[in-house]
């Protein structure tokens, strides 16, 4: 007899629920930013928004599931992955792979039904995460984080492309922000879970290059965020003021790392502030576009 509670528990960890939400949400928010920018009513895109929500959720869940399948060996060495069904053994690896591929295909087809451009960005995100990031780079080089960041950064392009081509300064600026944002965010996680990553052998920057190099690169990536709003024209003055304040505030936290003796405390601050920063940026775009 199937234990529904156990299945739901397994799926929750298989899909990495918070990572899933963090990837789907930018696509949805950017879709609404596009509607507001072009002055188009939601009723004109009711079917498309449902397809975007379901399709992106399935595609991201499929990618995360494939990631679990491919990293089943290292997950067994990490405390943070102890509840995943690939570790507990409550799901066979064959079942996990079947779920991952099935969800990926269904999600891709749903996005393709919207239009080719949305599906293309979805495929780029899936391929870079599953193949380039998980298979090719994560166990070999520290710049695997850049590949993972590229995968996550395409989600705003997906949302905007539902309404119009994403070759537009607003979605491209959000792409740049999410790409740069993910490096400090991921470095913070790697420091917080330093022992796990060290045991796993995955080539994360803090483990391979040390804390000072990580703090230095974190500061550089956040500093680069200061220049992104310069490429976004014809926005309210308050947009530039608020975005600049957000960037400077996060940069201040990054710089504190150079004098912080408790690196874990700094990493926790950086992690929490990264979430607040990204949410605030998207709200800013929604309010001032």
pLDDT, tens only, 223-239: 999 999 999 988 999 99
Class (C level, CATH) for 1-165:
mainly alpha
- For 14-19, what is the mean pLDDT? 92
What was the pLDDT predicted at 237?
Answer: 93
Q: What is the pLDDT of residues 51-69, one digit of tens each?
A: 999 999 999 999 999 999 9
What was the pLDDT predicted at 234?
Answer: 83
What was the pLDDT predicted at 3?
Answer: 73
Q: Which residues contact 249 (CB under 8 A, 6 or more apart)?
A: 273, 277
Q: Which two tokens stand for residue 270?
A: 């950086």
The rounded distance, in Å, linking the Cα atoms of 200 and 89 is 19
Residue % of the chain over a pLDDT of 90: 89
The pLDDT of residue 88 is above 80: yes
Vertex 82 angle, CA 80 and 84, to 5°: 105
- For 216-220, what is the mean pLDDT? 97
The pLDDT of residue 183 is above 70: yes
Are 182 and 148 a contacting pair, CB within 8 Å?
yes
- For 194-216, what is the mean pLDDT? 94
Closest CA to 13 of 68, 79, 60, 66: 68
- Which of 27-31, 85-89, 232-236, 263-267 has the lowest average pLDDT? 232-236
What was the pLDDT predicted at 9?
Answer: 84
Closest CA to 289 of 216, 249, 236: 236
What was the pLDDT predicted at 5?
Answer: 80
Question: Domain boundaries in the chain?
Answer: 1-165, 168-289
The rounded distance, in Å, linking the Cα atoms of 18 and 123 is 21
Q: What is the pLDDT of residues 90-140, one digit of tens each?
A: 999 999 999 999 999 999 999 999 999 999 999 999 999 999 999 999 999
What 212-217 contacts at long range (C-beta under 8 Å, 24+ apart), as own/partner pairs, is 212/258, 214/187, 214/190, 215/254, 215/257, 215/258, 215/263, 215/266, 217/183, 217/187
Are 125 and 152 a contacting pair, CB within 8 Å?
yes
What was the pLDDT predicted at 7?
Answer: 83
DSSP line for 201-248: T---HHHHH-HHHHHHHHHHHHHHGGGGGGG--S--HHHHHHHHHHHH
Q: Which residues contact 225 (CB under 8 A, 6 or more apart)?
A: 177, 180, 181, 247, 250, 251
- For 37-57, what is the mean pLDDT? 97
Q: What is the pLDDT of residues 118-131, one digit of tens each?
A: 999 999 999 999 99
**pLDDT band at residue 1 using 50, 70 and 90 as cut-offs:** low
Find the largest Cα–Cα distance for the chain. Answer: 61
Cα radius of gyration (the chain): 19
What was the pLDDT predicted at 222?
Answer: 98
Backbone angle region of 78, left / alpha / beta, with phi > 0 → left and psi within -120 to 50 → alpha = beta
The pLDDT of residue 2 is above 70: no
**pLDDT band at residue 151 using 50, 70 and 90 as cut-offs:** very high
- HSE at residue 211, side-chain half, CA atoms within 13 A, is 17
Helix (H) or strand (E) holding 36: helix 17-38
């Amino acid at each position: 007899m199937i234990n529904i509670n156990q299945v739901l528990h397994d799926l929750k960890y298989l899909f990495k629920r918070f990572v899933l939400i963090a990837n789907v949400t930018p696509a949805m928010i950017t879709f609404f930013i596009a509607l507001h920018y072009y002055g188009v009513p939601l009723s004109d895109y009711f079917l498309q928004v449902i397809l975007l929500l379901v399709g992106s959720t399935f595609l991201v869940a499929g990618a995360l599931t494939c990631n679990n399948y491919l990293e089943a060996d290292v997950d067994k060495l990490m405390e943070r992955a102890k509840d995943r069904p690939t570790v507990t053994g409550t799901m066979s690896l064959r079942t996990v792979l079947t779920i991952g591929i099935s969800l990926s295909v269904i999600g891709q087809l749903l996005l393709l039904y919207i239009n080719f451009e949305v599906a293309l960005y979805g495929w780029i995100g899936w391929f870079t995460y599953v193949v380039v990031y998980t298979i090719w780079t994560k166990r070999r080089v520290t710049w695997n984080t850049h590949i993972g960041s590229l995968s996550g950064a395409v989600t705003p392009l997906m949302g905007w492309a539902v309404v119009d081509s994403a070759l537009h300064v607003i979605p491209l600026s959000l792409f740049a922000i999410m790409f740069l944002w993910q490096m400090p965010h991921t470095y913070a996680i790697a420091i917080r879970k330093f022992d796990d990553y060290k045991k796993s052998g995955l080539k994360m920057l803090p483990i391979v290059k040390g804390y000072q190099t990580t703090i230095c690169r974190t500061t550089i990536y956040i500093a680069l965020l200061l220049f992104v709003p310069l490429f976004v024209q014809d926005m309210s003055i308050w947009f530039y003021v608020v975005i600049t304040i957000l960037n400077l505030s996060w940069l201040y936290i990054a710089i504190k790392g150079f004098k912080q003796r408790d690196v874990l405390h700094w990493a926790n601050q950086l992690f929490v502030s990264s979430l607040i920063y990204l949410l605030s940026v998207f709200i800013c775009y929604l309010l001032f576009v």
